[in-house]
Amino acid sequence: MYLIFKTLHLTFAIISITGFLVRSILMFYDSPLLQNKWVQLTPHLVDTVFLLSGFSMAFMVNFGLFSQLWLTAKIFLLMFYLLFVGIALSRGTTKTVRVGAFFAALFTFAFIVGIAINKSPLGWFAPLL
């Protein structure tokens, strides 16, 4: 059962970041496609499956806050990622702010992936130690 949730989680992580990149490009070009209902609804459905599969895996490994620091770091950084995505796609007051939030979201996502792969809160820096 764990493998099913892991596969779902990884698949929807890729779909989620791809969707973010596509919506960001549309936003940078002020595309009217951003106003389509499917463009607005799909990310919520994708992210719901993404998060539910992640939380399901966490419960399967008896996750307790701070009992596995790498998982705690992922959840903590997820909150920042969501904040940056919100600023990049809608809440940023200027294009400069949105571009900065876009790159901050990408960096945060990449760091979360590094944490997941290395099972360390140090992410991509863990192999250096």
For 95, residues 6+ apart whose C-beta sits below 8 A from its C-beta are: 28
Q: How many Å is the Cα radius of gyration of the chain? A: 16
Decide: 127 and 118 in contact? Cβ < 8 Å. yes
Decide: 43 and 23 in contact? Cβ < 8 Å. yes
pLDDT at 9: 94
Of the chain, the percentage scoring pLDDT greater than 90 comes to 71
Instruction: Write the pLDDT tens digit of every residue in 46-99.
Output: 999 999 999 898 888 877 667 788 888 998 999 999 999 999 998 888 999 999
Chain position carrying tokens 């590094």? 114
Distance separating alpha carbons of residues 9 and 59, to the nearest angstrom: 14
pLDDT at 55: 87
Distance separating alpha carbons of residues 87 and 129, to the nearest angstrom: 34
Of the chain, the percentage scoring pLDDT greater than 70 comes to 98
Per-domain boundaries in the chain: 2-128
Phi-psi region of 72 (alpha: psi -120 to 50; beta: other; left: phi over 0): alpha
Looking at the predicted structure, is the pLDDT value of residue 106 above 70?
Answer: yes
Mean pLDDT of the chain: 91
Chain position carrying tokens 């809440």? 91
Looking at the predicted structure, is the pLDDT value of residue 22 above 70?
Answer: yes
pLDDT at 65: 67
Distance separating alpha carbons of residues 89 and 45, to the nearest angstrom: 17
